[in-house]
Amino acid sequence: AVKPRVLSGIQPTADSFHLGNYLGALRQWVAMQDTHDAFYCVVDLHAITVEHDPATLRRRTKVAIAQLLAMGVDPDRATLFVQSHVPEHTELAWVLGCITGFGEAGRMTQFKDKSSKQGTGGTTVGLFTYPVLQAADILLYSPEPHEERALRVPVGEDQRQHLELTRDLAQRFNHRFGDTFVPPEAHIPPGAAKITDLQEPDAKMSKSASSPQGIIDVLEEAGPMRKKIMRAVTDPGSDVVYDEERKAGVTNLLRIYSALEGTSVPDLETRYAGSGYGQFKKDLAQLVVDTFTPIRERTLKLLDDEEQLDRVLAQGAERASRVAARTMDTVRDRVGF
Ligand code: ADP
Ligand code: NA
């Protein structure tokens, strides 16, 4: 049987991915490359919707790709590429933009959040039409409808509205111009965990909102990693128990531990019954360090061999382009070009 297709992207907006990205998304990319026909991209076009520095963007795109490879994304099993290397993304975004209602786009809540944070320059048309580009990112890799296979997109809560728009645009296009796209399905990958800030355990761990003490970077050295775990906010009492309401800090640490080790939370509670927070945090710190040290070392090695990295990217772009070009041929024909 033909595997369902999965499409996922991540922005190159930091010098390192963080623990939340890893446990909430990227680890699942690695798992899904065996069960799916996977397309994974670093979405640099999205990264310029807010003010950016070109040299920094170029560096972060490379570092993002190196980290994904270091985490286990296999360029022979998954199609791994950089969005801007496949110009069909912007071409399809234009076509889809022309069937998107202005009011419809204006209802996207993420735009309202993000644009209100833009400084002196104000917000941009690019940020406003970002969800349309995202729809193009997904629908370019639609299987052909007669193939009867699913198009899945792993999404967190904050992206649901954009995926809904993508489904609407796929159906609208099909209705007006003939069956072209498979409407994508939201996919909650098993094992994906929502990780909160180590200092403010009620808030999401996030590169834009977390303080340095609240976030663990994948590429961080062992020393600071350990310190951050040891200094993570815990809660009154000393019992290692899962309680989202009264023990948000310990609960977050239990979730991290459980996800990294593959042990259930009740088993961890039993293991640490009566031993207090100290030993628990020490063991968790070791687990975090053991998980990310090899990833950091592989990333640095990959970054040392720029030619090899470029070969991987060229192969990914070529494979993605084959699918994207086929989709765009159909789209061009259907709309009358
Ligand atoms: P950030 O919130 O740090 O800006 P992004 O929005 O770029 O991160 O998210 C990239 C991916 O990582 C998305 O799939 C998102 O759902 C996931 N992700 C980000 N932060 C977390 C978190 N704290 N816990 C779980 N998953 C997360
Ligand atoms: Na975000």
Report DSSP letters for 15-37, one per residue: SS-BHHHIIIIIHHHHHHHHHSE
Percent of the chain predicted with pLDDT > 70: 99
Please give the distance, rounded to the nearest whole angstrom, from the Cα atom of residue 68 to the centre of ligand 1: 15
Quick check: is 117 catalytic? no
Quick check: is 114 catalytic? yes
Quick check: is 207 catalytic? yes
Please give the distance, rounded to the nearest whole angstrom, from the Cα atom of residue 32 to the centre of ligand 2: 22
DSSP result, 259-315: HHHT--HHHHHHHTTTTHHHHHHHHHHHHHHHHHHHHHHHHHHHHH-HHHHHHHHHH
Burial class (CB in 10 A: 0-12, 13-18, 19+), 229: buried
pLDDT confidence band for 114 (50 / 70 / 90): confident
The rounded distance, in Å, linking the Cα atoms of 5 and 152 is: 6
Q: At what angle do helices 88-97 and 125-139 cross, to 10 degrees?
A: 110
Token pair belonging to 303: 């970054």
The rounded distance, in Å, linking the Cα atoms of 196 and 99 is: 38
Mean pLDDT calculated for residue range 265-288? 96
Q: Whose CA is nearest to atom 14 of ligand 1?
A: 25
For 155-205, the pLDDT digits (tens) are: 877 789 999 999 999 999 999 999 999 999 999 888 888 999 999 999 999
Annotated binding site for ATP: 11-13, 20-21, 156-158, 195, 204-208
pLDDT at 1 over 70: no
- C-alpha of 41 from chain center: 9
For 202-257, the pLDDT digits (tens) are: 999 999 899 999 999 999 999 999 999 999 999 888 899 999 999 999 999 999 99
For 32-53, the pLDDT digits (tens) are: 999 999 999 999 999 999 889 9
Annotated binding site: 11-13, 20-21, 137, 156-158, 195, 204-208
pLDDT at 191: 82
The rounded distance, in Å, linking the Cα atoms of 261 and 287 is: 8
CA torsion through residues 236, 240, 244, 248, sign: positive
pLDDT higher at 132 or 122: 132
pLDDT at 120: 63
pLDDT at 188: 86
pLDDT at 157: 77
pLDDT at 110 over 90: no
The rounded distance, in Å, linking the Cα atoms of 24 and 27 is: 7
pLDDT at 71: 98
Q: Which runs of consecutive H residues, i.e. helices, occur in 183-247?
A: 222-230
pLDDT at 24 over 70: yes
Atom of ligand 1 nearest to the CA of 207: 3
Is the Cβ–Cβ distance between 35 and 222 less than 8 Å? Answer: no
Burial class (CB in 10 A: 0-12, 13-18, 19+), 316: buried
